[in-house]
Structure 1
Amino acid sequence: MPEEQLPLPHNRNNAVTRGVWRGEDGLIHKVLTHRRTDAPPQWASSADPRFWNYWRREADVYLSGLPDRLGLGAPKLVELRELPDGDLELLLEDVSGTHGGDLTLEDIAAVAFAMGQAQGSAHLPSEPWFSQGFLADYSTTRPADFSLLEDDSAWSLPLIAAHFPPELRAALVRLHRNRERLLTVMTRLPRTVCHLDLWPNNVIRRPDGAVALLDWAFTGDGAVGEDAGNLVPDSFFDWPLRPDFAEHLPDLVTEAYLDGLKAAGWSGDPRSAVLGIRASAVKYDWLMPWCLQAALEDRHRAYGSGEAVDPHVRYEARAAGLAICARWADEAVELADSLGL
C-alpha cells in the first residue's frame, strides 16, 4: 500500500487481504493476495474455489455482477488490476452514507428486508466459486479452549462475573453441547445464496435509503435465515452496547427478513426461516471461551485497528450478543424438534 494513502480498518489476520485503503483518486483500493504466509492458521487462504476463504472470490463476485443479479447493493467496481506478482487490486466506489456502529435499528431492519427479498427469489444464481460448508468450517476452526466453560475460576474473574450471570453461563454451555445438532440442522434447511459476513462494518446505508454491502469474500451456499441470524449478534460484539438494540433488534430483524421473503414470493415454511436465524447462533459457540481466555490474559483490542478498548464496555456488549445467541440456540433446538429436524 502506498504510504501516502489512508489505510482502512479490516481484518489484518485474513491471508486473502494484503491491504485496504482510500486512495487520492477518491476510490477504495483493496488488494487480494494468495501469497501471504504470515496469517494465523485459522485465517489461511486457499486456491480451492469452494473453500470459504478462497483468495480471489471477491474479485469474482464483482466481475460477475453478482450483487446486481441478487438484487442487492454493493460498491461499483471501477477497475480490476492484475498486479505483476499475481495479486489483484480492486478499485471500488467510495460509498457515502451511514456505516458500522452508526447504523440505526431502522437501518439494520432495512438490511434484513433486503436480504430476505434477495434470498426469497425463485431464480437464484449459481457459480463454481461459491463457498460450500462455510458455517461449520469457520465456526469450528476458531481458536478456543472449551475447557474454560467448565472452569469456575475463569467465570469468577471480576470482568466476567460483572457481565455473565450464572444463568447465561448455563445457557452458553448448552449452546456448546448442542453444537453438532445445530450445525446439522443448518445443513438441512432450504438453501440460498448468502453473503456470510453480514454485520454492521460491512453495511452502508446510502443517503437515499439504499443498502450497499461490503466484503463479499465468503459468499456462497448457506441456509435461509443464516445471514439475518448473523446480523443480530454481530451488531453487538465490536461496538458499545446500545440498550434499545438489545431489546428490539432480534424481533425487528426476524420480522423484516420474513417480510422480505414474502415480498419476493418465497413459498417455503416461515418456520424454517426462523429456525435458520435461530440456529445460526452456533457460529459463535467459540466466542465465550475466547472471551474467557482474553479476560485471563487481560487482552482487549479493537477489531481492525488493534487499539486498546475499555474491557467493561466491550464485555457488556459481547454479553448482550452472546445472550441472544444462547437464547436463540435453545429456541432452535425446540423448533427443530417440532419440525422433525
Structure 2
Amino acid sequence: MARKVILDVDTGTDDAVAIMFAALHPDLDLLGVTTVNGNVPLENTTDNTLRVLDWIGCPGIPVHPGVPRPIVRRGFPGGRHFEQDDDHDPHGTALPIPAPRIAAQDTGAVEYLVETLRATAEQITLVAVGPLSNVATALAIDPSLAGAVEQLVVMGGGHAVANVTASAEFNIWADPEAASVVLSAGFDPLTLVTLDATHQALVPQTTCDALEGLGTPAGTAAARFISRRIAAYEQMAVAGNAAPVHDVVCTAYLVEPEVISTRSFPVEVETASPLTVGRTVIDTRPDSKSERNAHVALHADAARLNELLLTTFARDTAS
C-alpha cells in the first residue's frame, strides 16, 4: 500500500524535483501540496508548484497556498528576502516550464493541514522542505496535530554545513521561531535531513544527461532544474560538476530509507543571537541529558539517490 504524503514546499528547483518524485513514485500517494513563503514569495512558490504538477500530468493533486511571511518577524532575519530561485540562482522566480493551466485551491494550507489531519483515520506522513511557517501555524491552532502525523520529515538545518549564513541553513533561518515550535511540538518520529547529508548526495551532470535521455516530462524537467543548480554551484566554486538537490532526498528517503543514515540527537534552534540566528544546535555529545527530539541525517548515499531519480522519472505519469 502506498504511503500517504502531504508535501509542504517553497518551490524552487529542488522542491520541484521533490514534488515530481512524490507524485510519480508508485510507493507514494501524494494527497496534497501546501506552499509557503521561502525561496521566492508565496505567489511564486504556488505558481511554480502548479507548473510542476501540470507539466507532469498530475493536475488532480490539490495545491493549497499557505503562510506568506514568518510567524513572528516582519520579514526574514536581517530584513532580507531572496527574490531569486534556490541557492541564489540568478535566473528569476519562475521555473523554466510552461505556465500552469490549473489553479490553486481556495482552502489555505493551514486550514487544509488542520482539517485533514484532524479528520483522517489513515496514517499520513508530512514532509516539509521549506520554512516551517505553515506547520507551526497549524500547531498553534491545534497542538494535538503533532500526534496525528505518522512521521514528520524536515529538510533543514546543518551541523558542520551551513548556507545562508556562516551558522544557518536557509529553511530554518527563514523562520527560526517556526522551526523552534515544530522541533519542540512532540512529533514522533521527526526526521531532520540536514545540509550535511544533502551535500553528500550530489547529483552530477551525467545523471542530468541520463534524465534528459528518458524522454519523459519529469525526466526532461528534472534535467533542466538540476543542470541549473549545477551551474549555480559552479559559480559559487563548490561541488564541481554536480549539485545537491536537497529536498528530493526527503522524498527518496520515504521509499528507500537507506538513502540517509540517522542518529537521535537533541536539536534546538537559535532565535535570538544576531550572529547565529537560525542555527540548528545539534547536541552530538553522547552524555547529553537533553531530550533527543529528532532523528538527524548527517550522511547520505549519492549512488542510491541518483538511481532512484532515474527509475522514478522514467515513469510517464503517476498512473
Q: TM-score range by the shorter chain?
A: under 0.3
- Greater share of helix residues, 1 or 2? 1
Q: Highest CA radius of gyration, 1 or 2?
A: 1
Q: Which has the higher strand share?
A: 2
TM-score by length of 1: 0.25
TM-score w.r.t. structure 2 length? 0.26
